[in-house]
């Protein structure tokens, strides 16, 4: 029997240093997403990899399988995200997963994207076209101004998060009837080769305010 699948895979750039603003923001986003999804389902957990990268340990198999076993991908975005080759690999992997699921589910997934970016800094249009097209997203630039404020406590953002959580639950419902075909072989799923990776330019440098 196929294992339960995840509601979403949270893709983010690992913080440069422990305890910095990036780390604080990521924790706020993960908590807010998880809290709202759990109002809709306990059967499909949020996948968030928070372990430090250990030199010599191959994470590719574990992360690739987790992406394959997730209904969709939430991208926690700021411009340094696209500087990471690993984040680009995660995007490419989910694009491959998305294409296959549309082939299998057909009309059930018509008009549905499996990417949900949360924009904390920078702009939505800095993401690759193949991610942006017909994609729902949440723009929360204000979160970067006050990293100690929980976005889930903001009424407007909470309403948006509930909308996103409802969308993710809908994706899970569409997929559970084909669980074996969609998730049964995820242990064999892997990242594309370096040569086949998307060419995603880094986000342009932001001008200093007032220039």
* Residue in 14, 137, 11, 22 with CA at minimum distance from that of residue 64: 11
**Number of neighbours of residue 162 by Cβ within 10 angstroms:** 15
Please name the residue that has the structure tokens 């990471």: 84
Q: What is the pLDDT of residue 210?
A: 39
The pLDDT, as a whole number, for residue 56 is 54
The ranges of the chain with pLDDT < 50 are 195, 205-211
> Is residue 210 domain-resident?
no
In a domain, 200, yes or no: no
The answer as to whether 3 is a domain residue is no
Domain count, the chain: 1
Assess if residue 204 is contained within a domain. Answer: no
Note whether residue 208 is domain-resident.
Answer: no
pLDDT at 55: 55
Domain-embedded: residue 2: no
CATH number of the domain where residue 84 is located: 3.40.50.10140
Please give the pLDDT value at position 156: 83
- The boundaries of the domain holding residue 82 are 8-193
């Amino acid at each position: 029997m196929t294992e339960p699948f995840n509601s979403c895979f949270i893709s983010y750039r690992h913080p440069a240093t422990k305890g910095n603003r990036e780390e604080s923001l990521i924790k706020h986003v993960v908590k807010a997403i998880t809290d709202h999804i759990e109002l809709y389902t306990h059967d499909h957990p949020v996948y968030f990899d928070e372990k430090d990268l250990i030199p010599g340990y191959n994470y590719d198999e574990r992360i690739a399988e987790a992406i394959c076993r997730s209904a969709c991908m939430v991208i926690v975005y700021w411009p340094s995200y696209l500087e990471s080759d690993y984040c680009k690999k995660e995007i490419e992997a989910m694009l491959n997963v998305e294409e296959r699921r549309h082939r299998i589910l057909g009309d059930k997934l018509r008009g549905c994207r499996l990417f949900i970016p949360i924009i904390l800094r920078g702009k939505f249009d800095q993401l690759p076209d193949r991610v942006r097209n017909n994609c729902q997203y949440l723009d929360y630039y204000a979160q970067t101004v006050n990293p100690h404020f929980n976005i889930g406590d903001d009424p407007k953002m909470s309403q948006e998060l509930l909308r996103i959580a409802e969308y993710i639950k809908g994706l899970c419902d569409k997929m559970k009837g084909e669980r074996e075909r969609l998730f049964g072989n995820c242990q064999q799923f892997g990242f594309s080769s370096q040569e086949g990776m998307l060419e995603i330019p880094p986000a342009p440098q932001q001008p200093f305010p007032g220039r």
